[in-house]
């Protein structure tokens, strides 16, 4: 096929795909493990559930997130710190394992939980309101540990870290 026809075919294909499918050029492998911090859930029944979370702070880190990671350990996750409250919209593009997404308000309260998200999906998973951070955990964690909306998250970005 001549270069002109190849470009024309690619343009036609691009018109059929959602813009999100064309995003993140060059991303084809997991990012290196990010710096970690401790995070604790305090459930409404008084339990404390400790996790080690990778801190996704920079836009480049947040763009890749947990893409291409074959697993997330049961006591680990990735915390996306948005810096200030905002609507959080996530997707599962190039994410090969199902996740629970926990949307956390600025005061450290769980605002919403999206359980068992679909790997590779381009569907938007939204916080449905402003949140300070989004925490990704292995799928089924919220159900297994009975984490629910209103539970408190202890972490420095919410000003709620345990001493």
Question: What is the pLDDT, as a whole number, of residue 122?
Answer: 94
Full-model pTM: 0.83
Q: Is residue 91 part of a domain?
A: yes
Average pLDDT over residues 81-101: 95
Tokens of residue 160, six digits: 């709620």
Q: Which range of residues forms the domain containing residue 108?
A: 25-158
Question: What is the pLDDT, as a whole number, of residue 13?
Answer: 40
Count how many domains the chain has: 1
Tokens of residue 88, six digits: 């959080």
Instruction: Provide the CATH number for the domain around residue 55.
Output: 2.60.120.1140
Our separate counts of H helices and E strands in the chain read 3, 7
pLDDT at residue 73 tops 90: yes
What DSSP string runs through 61-103? HHHHTTTT-S---TTEEEEEEEEEEEEEEE--TT--S-EEEEE
- pLDDT tens profile 2-28: 444 444 444 444 444 443 444 454 578
- Spatial separation of the C-alpha atoms in residues 32 and 35, rounded to whole Å: 10
């Amino acid at each position: 096929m001549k270069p002109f026809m190849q470009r024309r075919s690619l343009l036609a294909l691009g018109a059929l795909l959602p813009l999100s499918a064309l995003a993140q050029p060059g991303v084809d492998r997991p990012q290196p493990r990010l710096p970690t911090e401790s995070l604790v859930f305090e459930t409404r029944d008084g339990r404390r559930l400790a996790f080690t979370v990778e801190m996704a702070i920079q836009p480049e880190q947040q763009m890749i997130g947990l893409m291409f990671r074959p697993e997330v350990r049961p006591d680990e996750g990735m915390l996306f710190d948005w810096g200030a409250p905002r609507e959080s919209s996530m997707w599962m593009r190039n994410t090969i394992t199902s996740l629970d997404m926990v949307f956390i308000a600025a005061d450290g309260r769980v605002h919403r939980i999206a359980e068992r998200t679909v790997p590779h999906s381009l569907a938007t998973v939204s916080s449905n309101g402003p949140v300070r951070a989004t925490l990704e955990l292995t799928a089924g964690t919220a159900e297994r540990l009975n984490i629910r909306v209103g539970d408190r998250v202890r972490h420095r970005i919410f000003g709620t870290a345990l001493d």
